[in-house]
């Protein structure tokens, strides 16, 4: 019988609240040797994810977006909205200010094959697993899938 996401995911993953201090979240990532933290509210609902990529803005800083002036008009070569989002990430001090709010998720009853396709197609490293109420119940990583493949070979 084909395994489901629930069979392979890490249940009750380490998570963080949106109002948590960014420094504390970074320490959690380092302590647990993980590359991302699901962000949950007080009811356990997933509201975002904090990944290493989100934190890179803190380390690299910001560059002013390139623009050209044409007939006394400024034309940005990069979206000013995107620049504004990146600026908030670079200056943020709380998890909520830096996290990615739009998160791709999967339900625990989906097949591993479906999860692997989703992760591959969307180029994501970790996939939060949520129940029908939107509550975080686990997380599935690329490493989990590879370990499952290795175990299936035995």
Q: Residue 56's pLDDT is what?
A: 77
Which range has the top average pLDDT, 27-41, 58-72, 82-96? 27-41
Q: Which range has highest mean pLDDT (54-58, 87-91, 146-150)?
A: 146-150
- Please count the structural domains in the chain: 1
Question: In angstroms, rounded to a whole number, what is the distance separating the alpha carbons of residues 65 and 78?
Answer: 6
Which whole number is the average pLDDT over 64-76? Answer: 62
Q: Which of 98, 110, 117, 118 is nearest to 49 (CA)?
A: 98
Give pLDDT tens digits for 126-140.
999 999 999 999 999
Nearest to 64 by CA among 46, 82, 44: 82
Q: How would residue 115 be classed by pLDDT, with cut points 50, 70 and 90?
A: very high
Q: Give the number of other Cβ atoms within 10 Å of residue 124's Cβ.
A: 17
User: Would you call 35 exposed, middle or buried from its count of C-beta atoms within 10 A (0-12, 13-18, 19+)?
Assistant: middle
- pLDDT for the residue numbered 2: 74
pLDDT at 22: 87
The CATH number of the domain holding residue 17 is 3.10.580.10
Kind plus residue range of the DSSP H or E element containing 72: none
Per the structure, the complete domain to which residue 48 belongs is given by 5-153
| pLDDT, mean of residues 109-123 | 96
Per-residue pLDDT of 20-56, as tens digits, reads 998 899 899 999 999 999 999 999 999 999 998 888 7
């Amino acid at each position: 019988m084909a395994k489901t996401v629930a069979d392979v995911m890490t249940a009750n993953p380490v998570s963080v609240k949106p109002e948590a201090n960014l420094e504390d979240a970074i320490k959690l990532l380092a302590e647990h040797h993980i590359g991302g933290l699901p962000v949950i509210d007080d009811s356990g609902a997933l509201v975002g994810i904090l990944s290493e990529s989100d934190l890179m803005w803190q380390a690299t800083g910001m560059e002013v977006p390139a623009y050209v002036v044409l007939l006394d008009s400024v034309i940005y070569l990069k979206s000013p909205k995107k620049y504004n989002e990146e600026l908030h990430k670079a200056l943020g001090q709380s998890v909520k200010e830096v996290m990615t709010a739009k998160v791709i998720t999967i339900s625990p009853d989906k097949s591993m094959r479906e999860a692997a396709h989703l992760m591959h197609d969307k180029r994501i490293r970790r996939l939060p697993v949520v129940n029908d109420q939107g509550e975080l119940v686990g997380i599935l990583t690329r490493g989990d899938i590879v370990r499952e493949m290795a175990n299936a070979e035995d």
